[in-house]
Amino acid sequence: MMKGIFSRLNAASQQASINVEDLGDGITAYRLHSRWTRMLGFEVSFYRVGDLLVDTGFAHARPLVLQALEGGAISAICCTHHHEDHTGNVVALAERHGCPVFVFQPQFLDSEGLDNLLPYRRLFWGRPGDFAAEAMGSRIMGRHAELEVIPAPGHSQTHVALFEPVSRTVFVGDLYVAPGASAVMTYENPYLLADSLRRVAALEPRRMLTGHGIDARNPVDRLLAKARSIERAAARSCHLVEEGERPRAVVRRIFPKGQRKDRFLEWVTQGEFSRANFVRAVVKHGREGD
């Protein structure tokens, strides 16, 4: 009871809101906003496909999420990846609907920063809480829907794309947050990300729905353009570093626009998210065979 009251007060103080939209083909979009998403300039989105849930949004919006999903059976929660802005309500929803939670490679659940969330992540999204997840196989069957699981590591080791074959809709989580090469988190591998973008493009999806609000029809060209842009920026970064440039100087050459926003995000996230991380990551991981 107290927990519920606290949770509602918290949602109000975060100025959290939810929009529910019927997208057709048995798919519903849930779009979450808060004071922080407004500052960052994007929403956090999760989806329902028949009786399967794709992601759950962030913990600060919990009462709104639980209310929006009241009255319909959910057979399984399918996580595109384990980050707290998408798994924030897994525990509460699994308990309420008595359903399993599926994560790809759940052995990585306690890594990549989730075991020790930095202050900005707790502030923006809240704590997801510990949850038991079952390993995601190659397919998730609901009573009224089915999703094919496409491994899509890069943004995280747990990342997948979920493909609904009847409408040819693909749910890509954070595989596609923005066009082109961009800032990454410390744990990311841009080469794997580019490979994953190509793998998803090969499905020839008719619609792409992302974890932060993008709804794109016929997304193949966009996916391939992002993969190419990452590979070009990676090759150029490695070349400049080999010539003795420091990552910060490489960033100025590779990403001439938006320097101030990037430095601000780097400061807020204590260096966990930045374009300099992109340069460090491509140097660290290298393209196999290079």
Q: How far is the CB of 162 from Zn ion (least distance, A)?
A: 15
Shortest separation between residue 36's beta carbon and Zn ion, angstroms: 15
Stretch that binds Zn ion, among 83-91, 104-112, 125-133, 239-247 (CB under 5 A): 83-91
Interaction residues for Zn ion, span 120-139 (CB under 5 A): none
Please give the order of strands across the beta sheet that includes 27-33: 17-24, 27-33, 44-49, 52-54, 76-78, 101-103, 134-135
Q: Does 188 bind Zn ion (CB under 5 A)?
A: no
Q: How many residues form the binding site for Zn ion (CB under 5 A)?
A: 2
Closer to Zn ion by Cβ: residue 174 or 231 = 174
3-class secondary-structure state, position 19: strand
Triad 240, 241, 242: Cα angle to 5°: 90
Would you state the structure tokens that stand for residue 103, as one six-digit string? 């994560």
Q: Helix crossing, 220-242 with 275-285: angle to 10°?
A: 80
Q: Is 43 in the site for Zn ion (CB under 5 A)?
A: no
Task: Report the alpha-carbon distance of residue 171 to residue 207 in Å, rounded.
Answer: 9
Residue from 43, 84, 164, 174 in contact with Zn ion (CB under 5 A): 174
Shortest Å distance, C-beta 250 to Zn ion: 24
Judged by CB under 5 A, the stretch of 26-34, 172-180, 191-199, 213-221 that binds Zn ion is 172-180
Nearer to Zn ion by Cβ, of 174 and 195: the residue is 174
274 pairs with which residues across the strands?
184
User: Which of the ranges 23-31, 69-77, 123-131, 173-181 carries the binding residues for Zn ion, by CB under 5 A?
Assistant: 173-181
Min CB(290)–Zn ion separation in Å: 27
Rounded Cα–Cα distance for residues 120 and 130 (Å):
19
Q: What is the DSSP string of 81-134?
A: ---HHHHTTHHHHHHHHT--EEESSGGGTT-TTGGG--HHHHHHH--------E
Kindly list the distances between the CA atom of residue 131 and the CA atoms of 17, 41, 83, 245, in Å, as whole numbers in the listed order.
25, 29, 12, 43
Looking at beta carbons only, is 50 or 273 nearer to Zn ion? 273
Q: Minimum Å distance from CB 258 to Zn ion?
A: 20
**In this chain, which stretch among 80-88, 134-142, 241-249, 256-264 interacts with Zn ion, using CB under 5 A?**
80-88
To Zn ion, the closest distance from the beta carbon of 81 in angstroms equals 6
Would you count residue 83 as binding Zn ion (CB under 5 A)?
A: yes
Q: Which is nearer to Zn ion, 27 or 172 (CB)?
A: 172
286's tokens? 């290298």
CA distance 132 to 139: 19
Binding residues (CB under 5 A) for Zn ion: these are 83, 174
